Amino acid sequence: MPTQVQPRLSIFANEPFTDFAQPREEQAIRAAIGGARAALGRSYESFFTAGKAALERVVSVNPANPGEVIGVHYGSPAEVDEAVRRAERAFSEWSRSELATRTGLLRRTAAKLRESKHTFSAWLVLEAGKNWAEADADTAEAIDFLEFYAMQAERLAETSPAIQYPGEDDKLRYLPLGPGVVLPPWNFPLAILAGMTCAAIVAGNTVVLKPSPLAPTVGRLFVDLLTECGMPEGVVNLVQGGTAVGAAMVAHPRVRFVAFTGSKRAGLEIHARAAQTPPEQHWIKRTILELGGKDAIIVHRDADLEMAAEGVVASAFGFSGQKCSACSRLIVHEDVYEELLGAVMEKTAKLAWGDPAENRAVTPVIDEVAYRRVLQYVADAPRQGRVIVGGKALTAPERGYYVAPTIVADVDASSSLAQEEIFGPVLAAIKARSFDEALRIANGTPYGLTGAVYSNSEEYLDRAAEEFHVGNLYLNRKCTGAMVGAHPFGGFNLSGTDSKAGGEDYLLHFTQAKSIARRVG
């Protein structure tokens, strides 16, 4: 049997977060935001069509100041076929390139991104409405994905069959699928976009990429960075646009896979559309889906309530609850229910709101559609429970899309506040009479993405590990903040295909295994 080289994961380390309490770092991020502001409003040409005739305009704005245009982009469903054809042509050479060529591209891009970390974070502040820490974490995660997937590609190339059959030389190779589609979300417009795109290309695939129309500039800047770092033409093909462009990409018969992160509704539509096989398509299109969640934190009566309250507030209201991992249900044992709610209320009341560029804790939701959707849930909240914090808009929409962090107590586990993904700063508190009931409530939605349990009982923590049906479970810590490598991310049920981004098996979704047996002797 050939000697199997050990994977080199031991050298991987997560990118450190920036300490903005240091005056030097504060000055650097402020300068980067100023530099990005000087470039606002730029018009970005399409890669495929000369001029702007017949193309749709994609205009992104600052959610903290909707009158401030971030970037103007152009795209159309008519560009999709050319983008796919370019990806198909590039695939023939890129798929046969040396592994070192592909991993080298990712590592150079990671190094360059590290050098320009504050620059990218500044664009995240202005286009996605993230405060400094949230933007910095987004950029750090992008660096992690690039370096981690480069190492995982090397590990995959070193794989050999578990058994060598007598009289044979047996090999196992993981081959790229072909041209694919990547559809990232607006809430992590750098990290998730970079992760899905670079996982695909380091495995030897080529990509047609459509950033979210709510954060197209960050996506464009990342593709420009890949090009600067030596990416050949046609490996990543950027097309801007909305749902019509995305639908054309998913339906294209020459596409081999679709990687999508977003809402349950959109993901299920993509899954159904991708399952169709027109006569000219001779393969089953693969879908890699990370969808929504209705994530819960359970606080049992024996928990450290101060620690639990801190974790709940961070999980529920960080980035205004606009994370698929955010806590939107708080399930508390009746014996400590009022005490825990009091602590959560006190900490929530201390959160300052305002411009993300000034590093405020409470930031805007992404656009007016989200603003009005969240406020509809808030308006209905008094009929479903007791509003104990928030329950209002903080600004008129023309002054920014700010909604107050809202806590609704005494919510029924079957109500819309406890069942539907709101994707905003709204937390439903539910009382449980026992740990058994808390688990039943936690598992009582169609989702299964993240969850957390606060308890000092090893028995209850062990039970949660077995019975809390989520893809990412956290014990005595918050349910947001998955770290690449340490916390492979993806959910159960209607939260997606549990493809575990940032995990050792993620690249398998972008490959197909070929077993080769050769008779010897």
Tell me whether residue 327 is one of the annotated catalytic residues: no
User: What is the 3-state composition of the chain as percent helix, strand, coil, each rounded to the nearest 5?
Assistant: 40, 20, 40
- Determine how many CB atoms are found less than 10 A away from the CB of residue 464: 24
Tell me whether residue 198 is one of the annotated catalytic residues: no
Q: What is the dihedral of CA 314, 316, 319, 324, to 10 degrees?
A: 120
The torsion region of residue 78 among left (phi > 0), alpha (psi -120 to 50) and beta comes to alpha
Find where tokens 């069959």 sit: 161
Q: What distances in angstroms separate CA 195 from CA 43, 182, 185, one per listed residue?
A: 26, 10, 12
How far apart (Å, rounded) are the C-alpha atoms in residues 483 and 490? 12
Helix 191-202, helix 132-157: angle, nearest 10: 10
Q: Choose, from 56, 79, 127, 324, the residue flagged as catalytic.
A: 324
Q: Choose, from 134, 147, 290, 421, the residue flagged as catalytic.
A: 290
45-54 contacts at long range (C-beta below 8 A, 24 or more positions apart) = 45/74, 46/73, 46/74, 46/75, 46/79, 46/239, 46/240, 47/83, 47/237, 47/238, 47/239, 48/79, 48/82, 48/83, 48/237, 48/239, 49/74, 49/76, 49/78, 49/79, 54/78
Length in residues, the chain: 521
Q: Would you please indicate which residues are annotated as catalytic (active-site) residues?
A: 290, 324
